[in-house]
């Protein structure tokens, strides 16, 4: 069972990852991300450069590169809320193994 202390530990690590983007991501913010399964870090990422992939995508791809196919039972820790743009949100959901949500327009 995940505890508040676990969450704080993982967020500190995500913040540390975000710092790796110092000097390369301007004008974008520094962002770090961790993907955790059963208390173990299975993916890491940070926003490396302006115009590059988002930190959450980097973390997900890192886990996939390590051979993890199903990420639906993982927790994603991100130092900044994932992008709310429709395309980025759909991509993150797809990479995590969740089908994109469909929006209804009335």
Judge contact between 32 and 15, C-beta under 8 A: yes
**End-to-end Cα distance, the chain:** 42
Q: In whole angstroms, what is the distance from residue 23 CA to residue 101 CA?
A: 35
What pTM was estimated for this model as a whole?
A: 0.76
Burial class (CB in 10 A: 0-12, 13-18, 19+), 97: middle
Per-residue pLDDT tens over the stretch 80-89: 865 555 555 5
- Strand pairing of 40-46 and 75-78? unpaired
Exactly one of 13, 56, 58, 61 is catalytic; name it. 56
pLDDT-above-70 percentage for the chain: 75
Distances from the Cα of 80 to the Cαs of 2, 5, 18, 59, 70, in angstroms?
Answer: 21, 19, 10, 14, 24
Whether 56 sits among the annotated catalytic residues: the reply is: yes
Per-residue pLDDT tens over the stretch 6-56: 999 999 999 999 999 999 999 999 999 999 999 999 999 999 999 999 999
């Amino acid at each position: 069972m995940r505890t508040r202390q676990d969450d704080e530990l993982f967020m500190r690590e995500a913040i540390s990852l975000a710092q790796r983007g110092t000097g390369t991501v301007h004008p974008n913010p520094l962002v770090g991300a961790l993907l955790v399964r059963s208390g173990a870090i299975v993916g890491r990422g940070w926003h490396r450069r302006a115009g590059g992939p988002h930190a959450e995508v980097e973390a997900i791809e890192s886990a996939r590169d390590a051979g993890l196919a199903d990420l639906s039972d993982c927790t994603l820790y991100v130092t900044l809320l994932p992008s709310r743009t429709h395309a980025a949100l759909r991509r993150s959901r797809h990479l995590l193994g969740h089908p994109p949500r469909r929006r209804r327009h009335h």
